[in-house]
Amino acid sequence: MRFEFNGTPVEARPGDTVASALYRAGQRVFSRSFKYHRPRGLLCGAGKCPNCLMQVDGVPNVRVCVTPARDGLVVRHQHAYPSLDFDWLSLAQRFDAFLPVGWYYKTFRSHALWRAAEPFIRRAAGLGVVPADPAGEYEHAFRQADVAVIGGGPSGLEAALAHAGAGSEVVLVDDQPELGGHRRYRKRAGPEPTDLIARVRSHPAISVLAGAYCFGLYEGNLLGVVQPAPHARCRERLLHLRAAHVVVATGVYEAPLLFPNNDLVGVMLSTAAQRLIHLHGLPPGKRAAVIGRGVRAEEVLADLRSAGVETHLLIAPEEVERAEGAASVSALRARGERFPCDVVVVCGHLVPDAGLLSQAGARLDWNAQVGAFCPAGLPPTMSAAGEVTGAGLSAAAPLPAPVAPHKRAFVCVCTDATTQDLCDALGEGFDHMETLKRYTTTTMGPCQGRMCQLNAIAVCARQTGRGMQETGVTTSRPPNPGVTLGALAGPRHHPIRRTPLHHQHADRGAVWLDMGEWKRPRYYRTAASSDETTCVRAEYAAVRQRVGLIDVSTLGKLEVRGRDAGRLLDKVYTHRFSDLAVGRARYATLCDDHGILLDDGTISRLAEDRYFLTTTTGNLDFVEQWLLWWLAGTGQHVHIANVTGGLAAVNLAGPLARDTLRKLTALDLGSQAFSYMACRQAEVAGIPAILLRIGFVGETGWEIHVPAECGPDLWDALLDAGREFGIRPFGVEAQRLLRLEKKHVIIGVDTDALTTPYEAGLNWVVRREKEDFIGRHALSGSPRSPRRESLVGLVVEGEQTPEDGSAVMINGRPAGRVTSARFSPHVGAPIALAWAPEAKAVEGARVEVRIRGRAVTARVTLEAFYDPEGARLRA
């Protein structure tokens, strides 16, 4: 197995992490610190500290001490210039007098100064580089369990077996590649639980997720679990694990002790040394000084000796004066002596890993005897097992200990906050743990307080004279450890809605327009031209002069059936529908209680108890819910079904539409027999269809709805039939122009969240004499009563078409806005729909429209620009 580190190949053995393979290859400096760019080496070896963050396969801030080594990985250092062993920015520590705690707040009092300095600071202090195009995929998965056990040590294994034995489905999550917890590397603490592991592995009700880490607990016992590389194609999978009960058996982690130069390369925690020895067969150095006392320290000493490391006698924590060395440690000074060594092994504080419990609302109480904050007051859906409860622990060193402020005794290795910094901050008045945290950024770095929290509390407690309990812990929040944004974002699921005629459009060179999730043809390229203006103009001409065909399948379609269907529609829509004759259709608008226009469409009566509704494309879901809401509890017999996807719909329009359609149906299409706003059910090209004689584009036309699976056949048949008449499919862009010439309003485009039907010029759709309908009270006044403004037509002088949203000006002041504008071939000038003050809503009035900064004169018109009498529509 071989991977690449900064361009050079590194050999790895099975079971190696990236960090252990690098250590074996002689690498000692793994990162550079955040502020002073001091060299840093392996500290915790367990993914709890920030010292080994590297860029792996392009992903920044990967904890390489818990990343299994794999063939072909590309690993790079981050945050060191030019290299880990020599970093120019380490000069920063020479100027530490100018970098006091709260440096940002003290230095950048002017915004301009910060703006000038920010790019440099970001580059010097940033963590890694975000890849432009990360390789691999991210996935989400969902899983439910009766019990989730977090932690695969002896207590976790026992808890899993106990719950499974009681008939529960159990999921066991462990962040190590193998189960066993600390027994895998603390050989002298007890035998490896091989029997428990075998029983867990073979139990049918227990599933084991090894090598996966849980980063947080959310409402309803939802656990966020990241599984790195669950299968070949996938980089990370985020598992949403919901469990009725959660057992936290996360054990303890080790936190450093405070002494000058406690961050030198070669100063490592005892568990890191034990992991190197027992998991990777690597002696951490040649000569070690061990700081610690009691059974644990003896155990570490024995491990080091058996690994062939020469050791001094144990040094108690209080006896330590400082570590010495330029980049790497060369000696430890204690009890007035100098102990030469290349590695200092620190038996640090053992901290219960109770983050998940705290997130669930558990308290953390200080227990001086075990030297730890222990969880208490667990919610009934959680329990704790093993060392995380504090059971069996003993204090590594008494806390709070006397503090000697020192500029090189690091409390927070993530952000280089020292005991000096903390004492200065306390002196400046930040004497509450939470303000101290925010001011010094201690506990806010990548390790999220794992390395520094206990020491910071101890310093705070000592300096303020308060106790540990009174000083208290900072709030634990997920995610901890950090999660990649890719894992949180998950897979790229962008649902696409395709109409039943999608492939027909694609075959004809459609240029797509995204409308919400729908794909609609904006216009069709032809052999002659692919230019939008040319194509749209040709499509427009076909509809006005011959015949055109557009896919309107995206319209929302609802079937409303039952003996009370008419009553429900009378209640919800502003017009009356209970008196609509079978075989007729009516324009329909829908308002809220304030009389604000919400949606429009058509309602046709197919039978006595059967209505067919269309809604605008974007409002279908709302209209369906709105109808169901107003139906609920009324006891009315109404059945509402959303049939949008089930019907392909086209609009065949133009002076030759009748000639085209006549070839495909036996229906009498004469203007008397099938008049404007009539509806029929008949076969078209042998396909059962609903035909509506309506005209959004202002020409003789039919909206034809057929079963979706027959849509392509209908489309082809209509184009075949219309070929002799010069038929042409047209897209949304041509449709928008055609309807604008007719001044047909699009709800939500030409109207806004305050528009009433009266303001939009739709007085006729409101049946004020109806006994009740939604919005009646608000709309009960006269349509002519004073209004905010009116939607008017504008004919703009000159060649330039205003953009949608351009300001309407009166006497140089903004007084309205353009909602839709296009160049009208019929008028020969740009036309627009616009909101204008009531005083200007007069035929022939003059206003100005601002087009690209210039004021251009426009004339108000209240009539449709095209065929105001509607003669063509009704022909």
Find the shortest distance in angstroms from Cβ 53 to other proteins.
29
267 near other proteins, judged by CB under 8 A? no
499 near other proteins, judged by CB under 8 A? yes
Q: Which of 102, 478, 712, 837 binds other proteins (CB under 8 A)?
A: 712
509 near other proteins, judged by CB under 8 A? no
Q: Which of 76, 406, 498, 525 binds other proteins (CB under 8 A)?
A: 498
Question: Do strands 829-837 and 789-796 pair parallel, antiparallel, or not at all (unpaired)?
Answer: antiparallel
Q: Is residue 608 within 8 Å of 582, Cβ to Cβ?
A: yes
Q: Under 8 Å CB-to-CB from 681, ≥6 apart: which residues?
A: 606, 688, 689, 690, 691
Burial class (CB in 10 A: 0-12, 13-18, 19+), 429: exposed
495 near other proteins, judged by CB under 8 A? yes
Q: At what angle do helices 620-631 and 565-572 cross, to 10 degrees?
A: 110
Q: Is residue 342 within 8 Å of 360, Cβ to Cβ?
A: no
190 near other proteins, judged by CB under 8 A? no
Calculate the dihedral angle through the C-alpha atoms of 816, 818, 824, 827, rounding to the nearest 10 degrees: 0
**CA dist list (Å): 403 to 314, 406, 671, 864:** 22, 9, 98, 84
Find the shortest distance in angstroms from Cβ 703 to other proteins.
17
682 near other proteins, judged by CB under 8 A? no
Structure tokens at 232: 């070949």
Using the contact rule CB under 8 A, the part of the chain among 77-85, 124-132, 338-346, 705-713 near other proteins is 705-713
Residue 702: which of 653, 746, 645, 775 has the closest Cα?
653
720 near other proteins, judged by CB under 8 A? no
Task: State which H helix or E strand residue 106 sits in.
Answer: helix 103-107
Find the shortest distance in angstroms from Cβ 4 to other proteins.
27
* CA atoms of 534 and 543, how far apart (whole Å): 15
231 near other proteins, judged by CB under 8 A? yes
Which of residues 188 and 240 has its CB atom nearest to other proteins in the complex? 240
Find the shortest distance in angstroms from Cβ 460 to other proteins.
42
Task: State which H helix or E strand residue 681 sits in.
Answer: strand 679-684
Q: Which of 24, 70, 76, 143 binds other proteins (CB under 8 A)?
A: 143
140 near other proteins, judged by CB under 8 A? yes
710 near other proteins, judged by CB under 8 A? yes
Using the contact rule CB under 8 A, the part of the chain among 51-59, 98-106, 276-284, 488-496 near other proteins is 488-496
Which of residues 269 and 710 has its CB atom nearest to other proteins in the complex? 710
Find the shortest distance in angstroms from Cβ 246 to other proteins.
17
Q: Which of 230, 478, 825, 837 binds other proteins (CB under 8 A)?
A: 230
234 near other proteins, judged by CB under 8 A? yes
3-class SS of residue 809: strand
* CA atoms of 84 and 605, how far apart (whole Å): 78
Q: Which of residues 626-645 bind other proteins (CB under 8 A)?
A: 639, 641-645
3-class SS of residue 256: coil
Which of residues 240 and 466 has its CB atom nearest to other proteins in the complex? 240
Q: Is residue 258 within 8 Å of 321, Cβ to Cβ?
A: no
Which of residues 109 and 494 has its CB atom nearest to other proteins in the complex? 494
* CA atoms of 341 and 644, how far apart (whole Å): 77
Find the shortest distance in angstroms from Cβ 140 to other proteins.
7
518 near other proteins, judged by CB under 8 A? yes
Q: Which of 240, 466, 576, 662 binds other proteins (CB under 8 A)?
A: 240
3-class SS of residue 844: coil
Q: Which of 169, 299, 353, 539 binds other proteins (CB under 8 A)?
A: 169
204 near other proteins, judged by CB under 8 A? no
Runs of H (alpha helix) within 584-710: 620-631, 657-662
* CA atoms of 730 and 551, how far apart (whole Å): 8
Q: Which of 141, 198, 404, 842 binds other proteins (CB under 8 A)?
A: 141
Per-residue DSSP letter, 175: S
726 near other proteins, judged by CB under 8 A? no
Contact residues: other proteins, CB under 8 A: 139-144, 169, 230-234, 240, 491, 493-500, 503, 518, 553, 559, 561-562, 639, 641-647, 707-710, 712-713
